[in-house]
Amino acid sequence: MRMQDIARRLGISAMTVSRALKSDSSVAPTTRAAVLKAIEELGYVPNQIAGSLSSRRSGFAAVLVPSLNNPHFSETVLALGSALQARGMQLLIGNTEYDRRKEAELVRALLARKPEAIILTSDGHDPRILPMLAKAKIPVVEIWDLPARPIQHVVGFSNRIAMRGLIAALIAQGYSRITYLGEADDADTRGASRRLGYCEAMAAAGLGPRLCSIGRPPATMSDGERGLDTVLSAFPDTELVACVSDPLAFGVIAACQRRGWVVPDRLAVSGFGDFEIARIGVPAITTVQIDAGQIGREAGGIIGEAFDALRDLPLAPVIRPVPALPCLRASTMIAR
């Protein structure tokens, strides 16, 4: 069924049907009512593919995340989706699985759908995506990090500085034998940045780095459970395990509890990200607070601004930092 069919049924032209469906055009109220009624009765659903081709507006925005299982990214995607829905846009989600090559393939596949904006979870990108993005001439927003050479707009925070701040705060609490537990894969630059931040904070305090790694990103609770052994065999005198993320930290704590160890008395543990589990779990987990929803909302806002800006006068690149501050909780609160 096409617009033509609706039109013929009412003795009008397809164009009038088209106009009746987009509320801004000038159509007589009675005509519009008749069109909407006919559409309802016939169960007509417009073909947006044809509409997109003709109007050169796909109604899509594309977002690439490394993982959907991570509650943080899903929350960002959720907030972004809501923000864009207000502008009548659908979100196309691509899952890179922390794989740079996969990201490049997805960028190509998604650009073929002519998105009107694209959101990348900042990470080391395959250089080949840059010309493709440039040619697409659409707003690009990188989220979840502050890249050294931004492509265009950015909403995020420095994973390095945030982790450095957390470790510095913990050192200030009196900890010194702090061991870092992260993922094995360096393609995940967010993980690598956090590790670097840890190293810097340790160095600033005159301490050497104590690095362990387990599993591949994203780090899971199960990785944390196994990770405790790794940490203890490499650095038996560890006082505090600084984990790359909250789920990993939770796993380490669970492993401690299975051994009958009290956290933080026997071993302290910190995470990153302020997942719900960090607030609710017992003990509550010391972490870096990130508002994943805010990142999505801000990114949606920037895309809105970019659309509102004149086409010929594109919006100047926006770099919008979001807070990422240490939050000390019971898992590292020890009287000394």
Q: Which is nearer to a copy of itself, 3 or 201 (CB)?
A: 3
Q: Which is nearer to a copy of itself, 180 or 250 (CB)?
A: 250
The DSSP symbol for 302 reads: H
Q: How far apart are the first and last CA of the chain?
A: 76
Residue 116: helix, strand or coil by DSSP?
coil
The DSSP symbol for 210 reads: -
Q: Which is nearer to DNA, 17 or 118 (CB)?
A: 17
Min. distance of Cβ 246 from a copy of itself in angstroms?
Answer: 12
Radius of gyration of the chain (CA): 25
Bridge partners for 93 per DSSP: 63
> Could you give the string, one character per residue 193-212, with x where binding to DNA holds by CB under 7 A and - elsewhere?
--------------------
Min. distance of Cβ 23 from DNA in angstroms?
Answer: 12
Question: Which of a copy of itself, DNA, none lies near 294, with the C-beta cut-off 5 to 8 A by kind?
Answer: none
The CA-based dihedral angle spanning residues 137, 139, 144, 150, taken in that order and rounded to the nearest 10 degrees: 60
Min. distance of Cβ 311 from DNA in angstroms?
Answer: 12
Nearest CA-CA partner of 5 in 49, 30, 32, 38: 38
| DSSP β-ladder status, 319-321 and 325-327 | unpaired
Helix (H) or strand (E) holding 119: strand 118-121
Question: Which of a copy of itself, DNA, none lies near 28, with the C-beta cut-off 5 to 8 A by kind?
Answer: DNA
Question: Which of a copy of itself, DNA, none lies near 289, with the C-beta cut-off 5 to 8 A by kind?
Answer: none
Identify the residue among 15, 109, 262, 333 touching DNA (CB under 7 A).
15
Sole window of 5-13, 67-75, 83-91, 93-101 interacting with DNA (rule: CB under 7 A): 5-13
Other CB atoms within 10 Å distance of the CB of residue 179: 22
Distance CA 175, CA 173 (A): 6
Binders of DNA in range 52-111 (CB under 7 A):
53-56
Identify the residue among 9, 12, 216, 317 touching DNA (CB under 7 A).
12
Write the Ramachandran bin of 134: left for phi over 0, alpha for psi from -120 to 50, otherwise beta. Answer: alpha
Q: Which is nearer to DNA, 131 or 208 (CB)?
A: 131
Residues at the contact surface with DNA, assessed by CB under 7 A: 2-4, 7, 11-16, 18-19, 21-22, 25-31, 46-47, 50-51, 53-56
